[in-house]
Structure 1
Amino acid sequence: MGTITKALDLLSLFARDRAEIGLGEFVRLTGRDKATVHRHLTELAENGFLEQHPDTRAYRLGPALLRLSALRETLFPVRKLLQPIVFELSEAVGELAHASLLQGDALSPVVHFDPSLHGIQVNFDIAEMLPLHATSSGLAALAFCPDDWQTRIMSRPLSKYTDQTISDPTALKSKIDSVRRFGVATVTGGFDEGVTSVGVPLFGEGGRVLGSLAVAVPSVRAKPEKLRDIALMLLKEAKRASTALGGTFPRDFDDLPLQWGDETTTQQVIS
């Protein structure tokens, strides 16, 4: 890991429940040398990526990120384009929907919405990166990534988040093959216990996978018929989202729903 990567990696430690982080906690979280961590923090603060609380001296995200975020959205309005699609999808299925984009070997959430129609809801953290092997979003994207990307993911240890997380490379390869065949990834309890999610890929220019569109449902409500309806809706909205992002949705995806006419095939899709 290079010096710049080590410095920028410190920014990923911030979360909704960790808005400010002191030097000592940075050292504990990273396991790195205190002097090195302090140097990286100082440089990030000098460039506006961090700022310090005037009293506690703890660090928090700085104004430079606001400027870059606003500029990114002005030049490439991803959130503006995806937000209405995610909102309409969520309202249509009555569950939490979200869109994420590939960032390194994980997914970065961009937009999410939950109509809050039920007493039991899925907790979604917009700041949490989504692993490719443990979520339907990640699997949907990973299945359409280049082969060398898939090989890299499967060649290293796969973290287990729950007892149901796929951590065996052979099992992961089998799951990827299924997702490529049906265009839809379904995961139950792989990242969050008690949550079932359905995801489909989003494509950019030249058919390059950009990320994914997904719906998350408490497993107690994840009946086969409901998951099938969600999958079909996702395929429709993912094509709309890919087009909005200037992408090209693979033509063979148009024929996928036609393959789901019998109960056995539908069960394979949502299993």
Structure 2
Amino acid sequence: MAAPDDGLRRGGQPLRPRVRRRAQPGAWLGRGTCSARPLRTGTTSARSRTHGSRHLAEETGESAIFSAVRGDETVCLLREDGAFPIRSHVLYEGVRFPLGVVSAGIAVLAFLPDREIDQFLATHDLTETYGQTHAEPEIRRRLEKTRQCGWSLNAGHIVPGSWGMAATVFGPGERPVGALTLTGIETRMGAERQPALGALLLKSAHTLSSELQRSRKMKER
């Protein structure tokens, strides 16, 4: 059976594959040791995160992830797999990465106040674990690019050939609280497809941000 093409449409019709949710965390080069805080199913925010990730997976065929900020890290809370058969497994439910690492960490760090960015980079040497692709000048270049585009790109900086794109999710006070990510193989996230994927990410992240902020306001009444 032929694989879906690299576009968002096939045969003139929107690509709407079935979505398969990962039942168990996968692994790449071993399994993570940190567990995510469980989602509180039934809450507005949990339903919104699930819907946002599932919609992205259906529209693109890729794996869609919601990651939340936990201190100086992002933690993957939810993953929805699209129908494209070749996947990246760098991100799985429960895995944590420092800010500035993977597309979610770049997306979150980029929209923190400049003072907090400077403080983070002054106190975290990401090259010790992630190599020279995560030296401060490289991180700052990605942050600037993210601010320009609105979405971030991880061009195989953790595992060669495994790419990711992410858009920031904002909570009360327009502060970053997480990110929506699309992840897949390099050939599925080339320059010709990035604008369309980025637009979908930004739309979904904006919707989720609005729902989270609205839910918070309702609870404060």
Contact 2:127 2:135 in 1 (8 A): no
**Aligned partners of 1:180, 1:196: CA distance in 2, in Å?**
19
Equivalenced residue count is 184
Q: Of residues 133, 148, 173 in structure 2, which corresponds to 1:206?
A: 173
Q: Residues 117 and 139 from structure 1, CA distance in 2 versus in 1: closer, same or farther, beyond 3 angstroms?
A: same
| TM-superposed deviation, 1:162 | 5.7
Q: TM-score, normalised by structure 1?
A: 0.60
Contact 2:66 2:79 in 1 (8 A): yes
Structure-to-structure mapping, 1:81-92, within 5 angstroms? 81-92=48-59
User: Which residue in 2 is equivalent to 1:6?
Assistant: none
Question: Is the 1:160–1:166 Cα contact (8 Å) retained in structure 2?
Answer: no
Using the alignment, how far apart are the partners of 1:152 and 1:73 within structure 2?
35
Query: What is the Cα-based RMSD across aligned positions, in Å?
Result: 2.7
Higher strand share: 2
- Corresponding residue of 1:171: 138
1:125-144 → structure 2 map (5 Å cutoff): 125-144=92-111
Structure-2 residue corresponding to 1:222: 189
CA drift of 1:81 comes to 1.8
Going from structure 1 to structure 2, the CA distance change for 1:173 and 1:162 (only over 3 Å counts) comes to closer
Taking a change above 3 Å as real, the CA distance of residues 78 and 232 of structure 1, as seen in their structure-2 partners, is: same
Answer yes or no: is the 8 Å Cα contact 1:162–1:189 preserved in 2. no
Normalised TM-score (structure 2): 0.73
Structure 1 stretch 184-193 or stretch 148-157: which is displaced more? 148-157
SS at match of 2:193: helix
Shift of 1:16: 6.7
Counterpart contact for 1:101–1:109, Cα < 8 Å: yes
Residue 48 of structure 2 aligns to which amino acid in structure 1? Answer: L
Distance 1:153 1:239 in 2: 26
Gap runs ≥5 in structure 1: 1-14, 22-60, 248-271
Distance of 1:140 and 1:69 partners within structure 2 = 22
Q: Higher relative contact order by CA 8 Å / sep ≥ 6: 1 or 2?
A: 2
Greater gyration radius: 1
Instruction: For residue 197 of structure 1, give the secondary structure of its aligned residue in structure 2.
Output: strand
Partner of 2:63: 96
Answer 1 or 2: which has greater helix percent.
Answer: 1
Pair 171,223 (structure 1): closer, same or farther in 2 beyond 3 Å = closer
- Tell me, in whole angstroms, the C-alpha distance in 2 between the residues paired with 1:162 and 1:197: 16
| Equivalent in 126, 147, 153 of residue 158 of structure 1 | 126
Q: Give distance in 2, aligned partners of 1:159 and 1:135.
A: 13
Equivalent position SS for 2:178: strand
Q: Distance in 1 between matches of 2:47 and 2:173?
A: 22
Partner Cα distance (2:129, 2:166) in 1: 18
**Deviation sequence 1:104-155 (CA, Å, 0-9, x none):** 111011211012332x211132121033222111101100112232113211
Partner of 1:181: 148
Report deviation, 1:225: 1.9
